Structure 1
Amino acid sequence: MGKGKLWMAGLGATLVLAACSDEEAETPVPEEAEPETVASPEPRAEEFMELWQAGEYETLYEEFLTERAKSAFSEETFIEWQVELEEQLSLSEREIDWQVGEEPWLKNEPADIPLTISMDSVIGEIEFGKTLSFVYEETEENEAGEWFAEWDPSFILPNLSEGDNVSVQISDTERGEIVDRNGKVIAGNTDAYEIGVVPGNFDRDDYTERLAGLLDLSVEDIDAELEKPWVEPHHYVPLGTVRPDREKLNRLFAIPGTKRTKVTMRHYPYGESMAHLTGYIAPITAEQLEERKGQGYGQGDIVGREGLEEIFETELRGKRGGKILIEKTAQNETITAVDNSSAAGETIELTIDAELQQEIYQEMGDKPGTAAAVDPYTGETHVLVSSPAYDPNDFIPGIKESRFRELADDPDQPFFNRAAAAYPPSYVMQPITAAVAMKEGTLDPAEGIEIDGETWQKFPSWNDFRITRPNPGVKNPVDLEKALVHSDSIYFAIQATNMPDDSFTEGLNEFGFGTAFDYPLQLAASEISESGTFGSEGQLASSASGQSQVRLNILHTALMYGTFLADGDLKKPVLIKDAEEENLKQGLFSAEQAESVRAAFEQAGDEEGHELAGKTAVIKTDGGDMAWFAGYDPKVGNLSAAVMMEDEKDAAGIAGALFRDE
């Protein structure tokens, strides 16, 4: 009996289950709806990236952020925080590398776009990866919907959250040195001391005047620093920098409240003699800050302001590094968002001989002029000097306004780099005219011509224009050697006008006239005239002896005279050591023709009473007698030199100092 009931119960259960199964089988299953696709987010993402790079934060917030992002971050947070961090960290030149994936794009699923964000900063380049999600949302203005960005602060800096505090630790690098051909430092670094005070320990009434005198400041300068808004009684306030001077330092530290910090200071051991080469460093100007935007510079940074310090700023500066720290207020911890290593600046090695340059500068006696000496076989610049000059050490750590005005108002213009200018050469031009005529084949060095009288003109159509020779007593026939020794302007005018068509112009162009050198320092090109051509045959004739509008740069002059030592080869000028040697022109004339000019140069030196070979010239100007020498020492022959003094007749005597120790 019990077993039967149990069976029946089980059977009943089975029937009920079966009935249920039949009902379920008869109930239709609805088909799954197809996901709704929408247009690609790429056009919207592209517009977002462009606005982001341009810093158009207001437009981004109003038109491109999701409602969730807007509710999480106020417009003030979104805009002002980014702007403040850009200023604090000198963020600039933001670049965003991004790529949208392939279709389909689903309405209810985010579109994830991987980004690589890079930008420059006060500690160098920052680069990090992020994924920016775009969400499709319907708005009152656009019921069909549009893509919006899901933004948060970590797109400004890695791991940044709202409420965090950001700080930076900068690792400055040591500026690279500039050295001469022998490794002697001409722009380097030396120890110094930054001097400051702690206001709470400093008695301004009793000691400000004394401190100002020791720091070469005014009382007003110190007052201005101590009264800045950020200054508190316990703060250290830097006031000035001094070089190691035990007596001065002892007097400074005898003043209660003073403190010192050891720092590195730029130093120029050769001072004025190298000023126009080295230049100097100083706080960056607003103009330079704009020019170097995106290179990690900020207000107050030091930068090369003139000469090689400016030209090689990137190499000398090195790579600045440091850390960007984020104080996570919610977690009570500080993390490193960015950690960039630093690298010291490079050493720039020059071909200049610093000792020789200093000696020539001293020989010039602060009188206005310039000098250059080059190796005619390599093009290496051994000397390139301008006088008078300023002392670049005056600019470190900062030049006094009174001293700057004194230099700026000096009638001899110590800031003007005469080595970069071009000047009328007079008779120094004659050997170049001869070289062109010899190459053209219209001048035979051994062939003499008859020249009578003091003046000459080729045609009566020249009217009153005539060429005047300085020494009408030269015996006929006049050959090249006599013409060079006696600076016979008529001889060279005849040779120039004997050349056909534009041969003289073309020959001078082969010597480098009209073309600025590819050289680290910007030098004026030598010119045959303001237009680069001769306007008349009379102008051509007078230009043969460096008259009319002919202008020569001092370095170019030394290089051209070097061709007479190098048998007709003109070298490219070199200033940086180990630069590749290069001929600007080969075979400007033959070795035999070079020898004939060298013989005339030596004879000219004998006639003028010095042991150098070359040409001299004295030009009457409103300011005095401009004097030239170009040539070399025939006993040595490893340097070709040129000297120009604006009001000094003994240019050859100054040039002689170039060869004393050779």
Structure 2
Amino acid sequence: MKKRWTFALSFLLIWIVAGCSKEEPATAEDRLQEYVALWEKSDFINMHNNYLTEETTAAFNSEYFIDRQEKLYTDLEIENVKITYEAPPEEKEFVIEEPATFIIHISMNTAAGPLKFDKELRMIHEIREEQENWFAEWDPSFILPGLGTKDTVGISTISSKRGEIVDRNGLPIAVNGAGYEIGIVPERFTDSSSKKTVSDLLGVSTEYIDKQLNQSWVKPNYFVPLKVLSNTKKELVERLIELPGVTYQKSEMREYPFGEALAHVSGYVGKITTEQLEKLADEGYTETDLIGRQGMERVLEDRLRGHDGIRIYIKEPVTGATPITIVEKPAQDGEVISLTIDAKLQKSLFDSMKGRAGTSAAVDPQTGETLALVSSPSFDPTEFMLGVSSARYNEMAENPLKPLFNRYAASYAPGSSLKPITAAIGMEIGNLNPEEGLSITGRTWQKDASWGNYRVSRLHPEAPNPINLNNALIYSDNIYFAQQALAMGRQTFIDGLTRYGFGEDIPFVLNIASSQISNDGKISSEGQLADTSFGQGQMLTNILHLATMYEAFVNGGTMYKPTLLLDEQHGEVWKDGLLSKDNAAVIRSNLRDVVVKGFAQSANLPNIALAGKTGTAELKAAGTDRGHENGFFVAYDSENPTQIIAMMIEGIENDGGSDFVAAMVADALTMYRGQ
């Protein structure tokens, strides 16, 4: 009896264990979760082979389901796919005889931006090979909303526009415009002599023309492009299209309306180079993009560059069907950036220089805004944008006037244009009394015999004694300023120049050379001290810095940080307390007398009360006592000092002195105010 009970109990335990170990069938929600996990991992193979209904796999083979989805995910840059679903109520029970329906929320990132959509997904209970489970119904609309079986998916670029550069008054400096694409229609280009004419006018070889006409795609009635010309070449275009078979098409291109006058400021755009493309590969540039190559086009590239938009769309297989946009990232145009430059003043200064080698700058003395930055001679930025030939580039590079050299970014010996600074330093420390006169005789002077052969020379020994500051500036007396600097001492003078910004980087958006007291920042002898006092020796000054230093005379002792972008903070103090208002008034009065009574008579205009200082820097050739001279003039309207203009012209030794430069400044202001 006991054995029977033992056997029965053992059987019962085996039955219980067997019953407990039997795997519970997966629920519809379990299968949905597994399916979603595979979907989020883009495991289309497993999804297709193990989780789709029989009807779905019959309708969509592996090539359609797997290969097409993989290709679309790649082409559309689909990633970070996330699927959530609305959980059914706890009391909800799915019966195998009916579909289990879930609302799912699909989100993903695409090349055109994020995409979200909802779908109804049905899980169907099916028995396969004596095994039963839940399987998902599927159609292409689970890839993209609304996608049909025979629909095509497209992706297109929405072009952006490069930002534009304008001057302070909104005048165009670098803008999006149109040019002329010159070309030939072969069937009408029948006069063989015209080929040489086109070659000469366009600056291309006849071999190049033949190469273009012999391309495989060319047909007799096709337009065959040869070269793009800017809008400024309208007369050339008219000459070209007079030739039978030569015509043009309008072509989008960058325009630089002020051309050479603003070329060194504006710079230009050009096709991105291979090296640049490799460096900027992660920033979305392509081999067809244009990029800023020089000037503000390069400095402002990040702000000017537009970012193309992308559109993903579906098109039904019906003639004339309108594509349906699924997701779109709008194009983002570049900024319109305003410079502080006054383009009309800039052009007036450039034109007044008449192609002579030199530079000029203009600033607003109350704000530090840069009103003009000129380098002369210059170049046509459009020529470089369109692709300058090596022969043309070599021609400009070998030009002795160096039109490609940016002179406003360099520094030069300022000559006597520095003397007001020397005077201000001496006055402010109490060493120089402007009313006290010095007795100076003769053309040359030296402190004592310890100077050896070195002597300070002056141009006007006829200057009447005693020579005070007013006479010293009117007659630009080197000896007076040398003696004042010696009285200050080397270190005191160095400290004074340092307070005006010598020896430090100029805070400016463009890279420009700093001004230096000497090569090593020191003054090693009394002779060098004397030379430095009137802007010679090893002293070098940037033209923008020179104009900025004169701000202290106009506004009572302050120099402002020079600005070039209109959205920068203006009126930010760079140097303050340089001289008292009384001392500044003395300097201003004397600078007006320099024009009225001195040797800048060309600037003594009847309708503009200019004040200023000329300067001549003698640059001797190595091993000789002769060289060439650079002439300076720094000036402002003493009655309405809204601009300080500094100009330097190279090689004026045969032009009668710095009054030659004063005349150019006067001409520029006359032109500017007459516009």
Aligned to 1:607: 598
Equivalent of 2:298 in 287, 305, 310: 310
Q: 2:373 aligns with which of 346, 366, 384?
A: 384
The amino acid that maps onto 1:634 is: S
In the alignment, what sits opposite 1:282? 270
Query: Is the counterpart of residue 586 in structure 1 residue 596 in structure 2?
Result: no
The answer (yes or no) to whether the contact 2:241–2:248 under 8 Å persists in 1 is no
CA distance in 2, matches of 1:578, 1:294: 29
Which of 159, 183, 201 matches 1:172?
159
- From 642, 649, 657, the equivalent of 1:645 is 649
Q: Is the 8 A contact 1:265 1:396 kept in 2?
A: no
For the structure 1 residues 248 and 412, does the alpha-carbon distance in structure 2 shift closer, same or farther, using more than 3 Å as the test?
closer
Change (3 A) 1:233 1:342: farther
Q: How far is the alpha carbon of 1:356 from its aligned partner? A: 2.1
1:222 CA drift (Å): 3.9
- Structure 1's 168 and 627: CA in aligned 2 closer, same or farther, altered over 3 A? farther
* 2:469 matches 1:480: yes
Q: Is the 8 A contact 1:211 1:252 kept in 2?
A: no
Q: Does 1:539 align with 2:528?
A: yes
Moved more, 585-594 or 460-469: 460-469
Q: Do structure 1's residue 370 and structure 2's residue 344 form an aligned pair?
A: no
Aligned letter for 1:24?
A: L
Whole-angstrom distance in 2 between the partners of 1:249 and 1:171: 34
Letter of the 2:637 counterpart: D
Instruction: Pick closer, same or farther for the CA change 1:607–1:117 going to 2, 3 Å.
Output: same
Q: Post-superposition shift, 1:421? A: 1.0
Instruction: Determine if contact 1:613/1:632 at 8 Å carries over to the other structure.
Output: yes
Call closer, same or farther: CA 1:376–1:32 in 2, change over 3 Å.
farther
Q: 1:391 to 1:289 in 2, by over 3 A?
A: same
Deviation at 1:227, TM superposition (A): 6.1
Structure 2 contact 194–243 (Cα < 8 Å) conserved: no
Name the counterpart of 1:189: 176
Which position in structure 2 is the counterpart of 1:553? 542
**Contact 1:214 1:248 survives alignment (8 Å):** no
Distance in 1 separating the partners of 2:313 and 2:215: 27
| Residue 286 of structure 1: how far off its partner (Å) | 2.7
C-alpha distance 166-397 of structure 1, shift in aligned 2 (>3 A):
farther
2:513 aligned partner, one-letter code:
A
Letter in 2 for 1:502: Q
2:12 aligned partner: 24
**C-alpha distance in structure 1 between counterparts of 2:365 and 2:498, whole Å:** 19
Query: Aligned-residue CA RMSD in angstroms?
Result: 4.7
Letter in 2 for 1:566: N
SS in 1 for 2:403: coil
Q: Is the 8 A contact 1:517 1:523 kept in 2?
A: yes
In structure 1, the residue matched to 2:615 is: 617
Q: TM-score, normalised by structure 1?
A: 0.70
Q: CA deviation at 1:291?
A: 4.0
Q: Is residue 597 from structure 1 mapped to residue 587 from structure 2 by the alignment?
A: yes
Call closer, same or farther: CA 1:339–1:533 in 2, change over 3 Å. farther
Alignment of 1:400-411 (within 5 A): 400-411=389-400
Q: Is the 8 A contact 2:352 2:668 kept in 1?
A: no
CA–CA distance in structure 2, aligned partners of residues 472 and 480 of structure 1:
15
Structure 1 contact 215–241 (Cα < 8 Å) conserved: no
Instruction: Measure how far apart 1:344 and its partner are.
Output: 2.2
Distance in 2 (alpha carbons) for counterparts of 1:408 and 1:214: 23
Report the AA paired with residue 518 of structure 1: P
SS of the residue corresponding to residue 399 of structure 1 reads coil
> Which region of structure 1 is more displaced relative to structure 2, 552-561 or 609-618?
609-618
- Which residue of structure 1 lines up, in the alignment, with residue 285 of structure 2? 297
CA distance in 1 between counterparts of 2:439 and 2:186 reads 88
* Pairwise CA distance, 1:586: 1.7
Alignment correspondent of 1:241: 228
Deviation for aligned residue 1:503: 2.4
Shift of 1:325: 7.8
2:240–2:247 CA contact under 8 A, matched in 1: no
The within-5 A match list for 1:9-158 is: 23-25=11-13, 27=15, 29=17
> Deviation digits for residues 336-366 of structure 1, max 9, x if unmatched?
8974321222222122222222122121111
For the Cα contact (< 8 Å) 2:172–2:257, is it kept in 1? Answer: yes
1:189 aligns to what SS in structure 2?
strand
**Structure 1 residues 155-177: Cα deviation after superposition (integer angstroms, max 9, x where no partner):** xx999xxxx99986333323222
**1 CA distance for matches of 2:476 and 2:193?**
72
Letter in 2 for 1:572: K
Contact 1:184–1:354 (CA under 8 A) maintained in structure 2: yes
Residues 263 and 592 of structure 1: CA distance in aligned 2, closer, same or farther (over 3 Å): same
What amino acid is aligned across from residue 184 of structure 1 in structure 2? L
Q: Which amino acid aligns with 2:587?
A: V
How many Å separate the matches in 2 of 1:237 and 1:298? Answer: 25
Partner of 1:310: helix, strand, or coil?
Answer: helix
Name the residue aligned to 1:576: 565
1:495 aligned to 473, 476, 484, which one?
484
Is 1:359 the counterpart of 2:369? The answer is no
Please say which of residues 490-499 and 449-458 is displaced more in the overlay: 449-458
Distance between the aligned counterparts of 2:201 and 2:458, measured in 1? 62
> 1:104-152 CA distances to partner (integer Å, 9 max, x unpaired)?
xxxxxxxxxx99989xx9xxx97799xxxxxxxxxxxxxxxxxxxxxxx
Unaligned runs of at least 5 residues, structure 2: 1-6, 23-42, 48-61, 83-105, 117-142, 146-150, 605-609, 622-626
Deviations 1:308-341 (A, max 9, x none): 1221122222222234789999xxx999897432
Partner of 1:36: none
Structure 1 contact 445–593 (Cα < 8 Å) conserved: no
Pairing partner for 1:413 from 384, 388, 402: 402
Q: What is the alpha-carbon distance in structure 2 between the residues aligned to residue 429 and residue 218 of structure 1? A: 53
Please point out which of 436, 441, 444 is paired with 2:425. Answer: 436
Distance 2:314 2:181 in 1: 30
User: Are residues 483 and 296 of structure 1, via their aligned partners in 2, closer, same or farther at CA, if it must alter by over 3 Å?
Assistant: same
SS in 1 for 2:665: helix
1:599-648: CA deviation from partner (whole Å, max 9, x where unpaired): 22122212222423222123344563321111223243222111110023
Distance 2:108 2:435 in 1: 75
* 1:498 CA displacement: 2.6
**Corresponding residue number in structure 1 for 2:454:** 465
Letter aligned with residue 438 of structure 1:
M
Q: How has the CA–CA distance of structure 1 residues 453 and 513 changed in structure 2, closer, same or farther, with 3 Å as cutoff?
A: same
Deviation readout 1:531-590 (Å, 9 max, x if unpaired): 122233332222111111001111111111222111111111122224322111122001
Query: Counterparts of 1:254 and 1:468 in 2: how far apart (Å)?
Result: 66
Structure 1 unaligned segments of length 5 or more: list them: 1-18, 34-64, 99-113, 130-156
For 2:282, give the aligned amino acid: G
Partners in 2 of 1:647 and 1:496 — Cα distance? Answer: 28
Aligned residues: 551
DSSP 3-state at the match of 2:282: coil
